[in-house]
Chain A
Amino acid sequence: MEKVITGNYAVSYGAKQSRVQVIAAYPITPQTSIIEKLADFCAERELDARFIKVESEHSAMAACIGASATGVRAFTATSGQGLLLMHEVIHWAAGARLPIVMGVVNRGIAPGWSIWTEQSDTLSQRDTGWIQLYCENNQEVLDTVIQAYRAAEQVLLPAMVVLDAFVLSHTSEAVDIPDQEMVDEYLPPYSPEWKLDVDDPHAFGALVTPNEYMELRYKMQQAMEQAIEVVERADEEFGDLFGRRYGLVEPYRMDEAEVALVTSSTITSTSRVVIDELREQGVPVGLLKVRLFRPFPAQIVRQALAGVSKVAVIDRNLCPGVGGIFAQEIKAALYNDGHCPPIFGFIAGLGGRDVTPDLIQEVISFTFEHDAPPEPILWRGVKR
């Protein structure tokens, strides 16, 4: 069934079709309409879930942890400051190995107040042990929520489905709502081996001495490594049933490319148009969209960039003191590979500033014109 819906409603529909059982959430712009729609679904009995209207995002995640630990599918959504408030319990969810899925609308971090898109909020949570998937359009958002549950429940790690503020969250597109019966076939009920159960009592999360703690982290890393394959398989299986696949990364017009542009989220959509135009003019440039950021699919990124002589990365985020975070990750992925082309790290679009086709075109031209990046951080569109 096709509907014209916003990115936020795509998250809500994704959660609904996944038959989430407990939702705990708190409003924050620009996420709020996700949970408003879910409240409607619950009120109208279109979704048989308990919606706990908590008093903060910290409590939202804590309630999701409690619900997931008791053996049900739990969901929340947040953005920016709300995500940052959750930080402690975001770690807890992952450490407790609970496959909670959270929709996160990227929002600039205060101060000064920003409600517009920027990835620094979710990227600041990159070390928490959550799977992170960055989406380009509303269909991908909806499909990724369902895929995220499928993958998360196999590796017992939580997952964030990330979308841009306003550019997706409040922009309507035609979206196919997957048939419920087919989703049920794809995503069976959550049935964990370990849960809070009075008939099989266990203590979860107790004090661990240095004799055991390291093994917990080792197993978490193993699960993360496994997640690369599991997320890919979840995407393939989804494709078999619904005819849509996204990949962990997506190389676009990379054949014979000399320069590869690397993007994520909605900057990718704009970049596709620019790449098409440049290709028509005979410019050997291709595009690599990174969809899975955690675990970082380093091997796949290496393969995708194997043939290029230069890489340009556009980061709509900033790690102060270092630069763009996607650029860092790509440098790290290529460093030990032997083939380590110059990597140009561009920062653009912070706090929701538009990343226009002209800007992207200039980034590409600049990369062609220079043998190596003249500066470690290449700011674009900044008023100095």
Chain B
Amino acid sequence: MSEKKRVHEPYARNYEIPEEEYAYSGSVSCPGCGAVLAMRYALKALGEQTIVVIPACCWSIIAGPFPYSSLKVPIFHTAFETAASLSAGVRGALDVQGKEDITVLAWAGDGGTFDIGFQALSGAMERNDDFIYACYDNEAYMNTGIQRSSATPWLAWTTTTPTERPKEERKKPIVEIVAAHRIPYAATVTLAYPDDFVRKFQKAKSIRGARFIHILSPCPPGWKAEAHDTIKLTRLAVQSKVFPLYEVEHGEKYTITVWPKEQVPVAEYLRLQGRFRHLTGTNVQAIQENVDREWTKLVAKANA
């Protein structure tokens, strides 16, 4: 496969992550939770002039029970399927009050994004509503105890896709679907690449209109992985091309922002996760072929 690399070094090099913290330490997440680090990076990029909307998801808990809050910025907790629609209302209210400079961040899990909140998300993207929708994707309903979502990877174990009959469908290509709404900005980020992560959130902040960021966010209990492997897993996900880091502007300009330098087989990423322990060699080969096919398609778009 010929990979004509588009190298985008200028913003990737010498990048500094803001020192300011808007997420308090001591939240009630599980050890090794990717979603906590993700919020920390996102808010470092967005700053204190941010309002966060959280539908039902792990962050409903992580944000802290009344009267506590684990964030220094305002939070509105809302119903499962309403992250996008409620954020549109917050945006409208800010605009009519002349507060256009405040960022609205919808912060939802994969269930609230790929599944139950999908209609509201599509509506907001179609209207080009002016807020950032971030989906921290831990690839199943983790808050309810590891049930399959449409973000769950092909052949993975969950409590509703037991090993005797693991998930038979491939993961929904959410970024492709969202980008097809021709929104100004869609991107993927993950934790092993904090510079890329922060830069993309900052870029999103500088753009008006609908912005979507897909975050791969490991869940050690749900993935049956070691808590200390969270960062390693996200690096392997990128290097094995399971989760490429890229951005899409206006639904057509694709840019791969981190090119895998190591030749990492998918098996190396899967091996660290108990949810894939039941896979046969044939299964792993099929997954590898699927990953290669998707990567080729992505590279073709980036080179177009």
- A interface residues with partner B (beta carbon < 8 Å): 21-22, 24, 48-50, 52-56, 58-60, 62-72, 74, 88-89, 92, 196-198, 200-209, 212
Contact = CB atoms under 8 A, between A and B. Distances in A.
A196 B65 contact: no
Interface residues of B, number: 47
9 contacts: A24-B88, A53-B127, A55-B120, A63-B86, A66-B89, A67-B89, A70-B90, A201-B72, A206-B77
B190 interface: no
Question: Is the contact region of chain B dominated by helix, strand, or loop, or is it mixed?
Answer: mixed
Nearest to A50: B92
B69 A63 contact: no
Interface in B47-102: 48-51, 53, 60-61, 63-69, 71-79, 81-82, 84-97, 102
Contacts of B74: 196-198, 200-204
Given A22-B96, A49-B96, A203 B102 contact: no
B122 interface: yes
B48 A198 contact: yes
B130 to A, nearest CB: 11
Interface of B: 48-51, 53, 60-61, 63-69, 71-79, 81-82, 84-97, 102, 119-120, 122-123, 126-127, 129
B86 A62 contact: yes
Instruction: Name the 6 nearest CB pairs between A and B, nearest first.
Output: A66-B89, A55-B123, A63-B89, A59-B85, A70-B93, A205-B77
Contacts of B61: 207
A50 B95 contact: yes
Contact of B63 (A70, A71, A206): A206
A52 B88 contact: yes
A208 B123 contact: no
Residue from the set B53, B82, B129 with the largest chain A CB neighbour count within 10 Å: B82
A36 B91 CA distance: 22
A192 B13 CA distance: 46
A207 B89 contact: no
A62 B82 contact: yes
A202 B73 CA distance: 7
A200 B74 CA distance: 8
B85 to A, nearest CB: 3
A207 B79 contact: no
A56 B123 contact: yes
A48 B77 contact: no
Contacts, number: 164
B126 A55 contact: yes
Contacts of A209: 65-66
A60 B84 CA distance: 11
A63 B92 contact: yes
B201 to A, nearest CB: 17
Contacts of A59: 82, 84-85, 88, 119-120, 123
A212 B66 contact: yes
Contacts of B85: 24, 54, 58-60, 62-63, 66
Given A58-B81, A65-B89, A203-B69, 5 more contacts: A21-B93, A66-B91, A206-B60, A206-B65, A207-B60
B90 A204 contact: no
Contacts of B92: 22, 24, 50, 52, 63, 66-67, 72
Contacts of B50: 198
A55 B93 contact: no
Contacts of B87: 66
Residue from the set A62, A67, A197 with the largest chain B CB neighbour count within 10 Å: A62
B94 A70 contact: yes
Contact of B89 (A56, A70, A204): A70
Nearest to B129: A52
A91 to B, nearest CB: 9
A70 B65 CA distance: 21
Nearest to A209: B65
Nearest to A204: B76
A121 B304 CA distance: 53
A204 B77 contact: yes
Contacts of B120: 55-56, 58-59, 62
B86 to A, nearest CB: 4
Contacts of A196: 51, 74, 76, 90
B90 A207 contact: no
Given A55-B120, A58-B120, A198-B50, A67 B93 contact: yes
A334 to B, nearest CB: 38
Nearest to B47: A198
Contacts of B81: 58
Residue from the set B53, B66, B85 with the largest chain A CB neighbour count within 10 Å: B85
Nearest to B75: A203
B89 A74 contact: yes
A82 to B, nearest CB: 14
A206 B89 contact: no
A206 B123 contact: no
Given A198-B50, A206-B64, A71 B88 contact: no
A62 B117 CA distance: 12
B127 A207 contact: no
Nearest to A22: B92
Nearest to A74: B89
A214 to B, nearest CB: 13
A5 B120 CA distance: 34
A65 B64 contact: no
Contacts of B119: 55-56, 59
Contacts of A65: 78, 82, 86, 89
A205 B79 CA distance: 10
A92 B76 CA distance: 12
A21 B91 CA distance: 12
Contacts of B63: 203, 206
